[in-house]
Amino acid sequence: MSKILKPLAVIASLALIPTFAMANENTMDKSRPSAVEEAAVTTKIKAEMVKNKTLSAFQIEVDTQDNKVTLSGKVKTALEKAEAERVAHSVKGVSTVKNNIVVDPSI
């Protein structure tokens, strides 16, 4: 029985190494926002866009990585494009905004 349990214990221990490594990596690097924090920033930006009567929020996509926001999609006017960027900048936790929104008056 001991011959079977020892290899199983070794295999079980090896299986846990990636888990401990990931936990250690996540707790050590506090300078990077978590996926949950990034999703919260994205959600706050979208919520502010929905409340803004100048914007067509459903035509604008928001992506957040490392507190850097990228906006994409299409809007009718340059005013909407600028307003989307202003709204994104206004949300706490945003360090930079890359505005890839395309102005297309035909939409």
Are 56 and 80 contained in the same domain? yes
Residue 74 banded pLDDT, cuts 50, 70, 90: very high
Residues facing 63 on adjacent strands: 70
Domain count, the chain: 2
Nearest-10 Cα torsion for 92, 48, 62, 65:
10
Are 80 and 52 contained in the same domain? yes
Q: Which of 40, 99, 47, 90 is nearest to 69 (CA)?
A: 99
Are 39 and 79 contained in the same domain? yes
pLDDT, greater one: 9 or 57? 57
For residue 49, give the CATH number of its domain: 3.30.1340
pTM here? 0.69
Residue-averaged pLDDT of the chain? 82
SS3 sequence of 90-107? HCCCCCEEEECCEECCCC
pLDDT of res. 53 = 92
